[in-house]
Structure 1
Amino acid sequence: MDICELILSDHHEQRRMFAMLDDVDPADTATLGVLWTRLAAMLEVHAQAEEIYFYPELLKLGERLRDASEVAETKDAIGDHNDIRDGILAARGAAAGSKEWWKGVNDAREANDEHMGEEEHEGLKDFRMHVDLQTRHDIAVRFAAYEAENVTGVPVVDKDPQDYVDENS
């Protein structure tokens, strides 16, 4: 198991679930609602797992390499997670299938798409290049256990990016 592969796999599943929403008859609000409930939980649990297990290690990598870009990347990622959370909360406050609901879902989707692209081309690349396989495995095991333990979701709470970096550096 490798944290880079695990995160990429989660990203694939997130993209697939957003596509599933596109394929549901707009009048089938019950199906839209249950699919979104699952996807929203997946998005937040994934973000929390990254914040607990991946990004602190990315910050340590930046320190080892004396590369400040990992701090900027981490702040950006936490900001992206907050944008995703904002979309989740907006959709949660609206009736499934409504215009407001779709706005929240699409806001979360756009923020998630941006976040995944940046993470895949920056943080995960840096990890593959500079972190040994045993460490990547160890992080992946803890990450997977966290996701399994919290499969039904965790509280959706924004974090201050600078405070996060300060607490994890």
Structure 2
Amino acid sequence: MDITELILSDHHEQRRMFAMLDDVDPGDTATLGALWTRTAAMLEVHAEAEEKFFYPELLALGHRLRSEEPAEETKDAIGDHNDIRDGILEAAKHDVGSDGWWKGVRAAREANDEHMGEEEHEGLADFRRHVDLDTRHRIAVTFAAYEASHVDGVEVVDKDPDDYVEDNS
């Protein structure tokens, strides 16, 4: 098990879940609600797991490499996570299937798409190049266990990117 592969697998599942929302009849609010509940929980738990297990290790890598790049990537990622959370919270304010709900879902999706692309080309690539497989395995195990124990979601709480980097460096 490798944390970079686990995160990539989660990204694939997130893309698949959003695509399923696209395929549901807009009047089928029961199905839309069920799929969104699962998608929102998955997004929340994935972001929290990254913040607990992946990004502190990426920051440590930056220190070892004497590079500021991982800190900047991390700040950007935390900001993206906040944007995803904000979309989730916006959708939660509205009835499933309403214009306001779709606006929140779209905001979460757009923020998530941006985040995944950046993370796949930056942080995950840095990790594959500079972190040994034993470390990537260790992080993946704790990450997977966290996600498995929080399948129903976690509290949606924005984090200050600068504070996060300072607290985890």
User: Which TM-score band applies after superposition, normalised by the shorter structure?
Assistant: over 0.9
SS of residue paired to 1:67: coil
The CA deviation string for residues 43-101 of structure 1, in whole angstroms up to 9 with x for no partner, is: 00000000000000000000000110111100000000000000000001110000000
2:99 corresponds to: 99
* Residue pairs, 1:50-69, within 5 angstroms: 50-69=50-69
Report the Cα distance in structure 2 between the residues aligned to 1:4 and 1:73, rounded to whole angstroms: 15
The CA deviation string for residues 122-145 of structure 1, in whole angstroms up to 9 with x for no partner, is: 000000000000000000000000
Report the Cα distance in structure 2 between the residues aligned to 1:107 and 1:3, rounded to whole angstroms: 27
Report the Cα distance in structure 1 between the residues aligned to 2:109 and 2:147, rounded to whole angstroms: 20
Report the Cα distance in structure 2 between the residues aligned to 1:75 and 1:122, rounded to whole angstroms: 13
1:45 corresponds to: 45
Report the Cα distance in structure 1 between the residues aligned to 2:147 and 2:100, rounded to whole angstroms: 29
User: Could you say what the CA RMSD is over the residues aligned between the two structures, in angstroms?
Assistant: 0.3
1:36 corresponds to: 36
For structure 2, the residue ranges without an aligned partner over 5 or more in a row are none
Q: Structure 2: which amino acid aligns with 1:100?
A: G
Report the Cα distance in structure 1 between the residues aligned to 2:140 and 2:107, rounded to whole angstroms: 28
2:158 corresponds to: 158
* Residue pairs, 1:87-126, within 5 angstroms: 87-126=87-126
May I ask how many residue pairs the two structures share in their alignment?
169
2:148 corresponds to: 148
TM-score for the superposition, normalised by structure 2: 1.00
Report the Cα distance in structure 2 between the residues aligned to 1:134 and 1:72, rounded to whole angstroms: 25
For structure 1, the residue ranges without an aligned partner over 5 or more in a row are none
Report the Cα distance in structure 2 between the residues aligned to 1:87 and 1:18, rounded to whole angstroms: 13
TM-score for the superposition, normalised by structure 1: 1.00
Structure 1 runs of 4+ off > 6 angstroms?
A: none
Report the Cα distance in structure 2 between the residues aligned to 1:152 and 1:71, rounded to whole angstroms: 30
Q: Structure 1: which amino acid aligns with 2:24?
A: V
CA drift of 1:17 comes to 0.1
Identity of aligned residues (%): 78
1:133 corresponds to: 133
Q: Structure 2: which amino acid aligns with 1:72?
A: E
Report the Cα distance in structure 2 between the residues aligned to 1:34 and 1:114, rounded to whole angstroms: 24
Report the Cα distance in structure 2 between the residues aligned to 1:100 and 1:30, rounded to whole angstroms: 17
Report the Cα distance in structure 2 between the residues aligned to 1:30 and 1:48, rounded to whole angstroms: 27
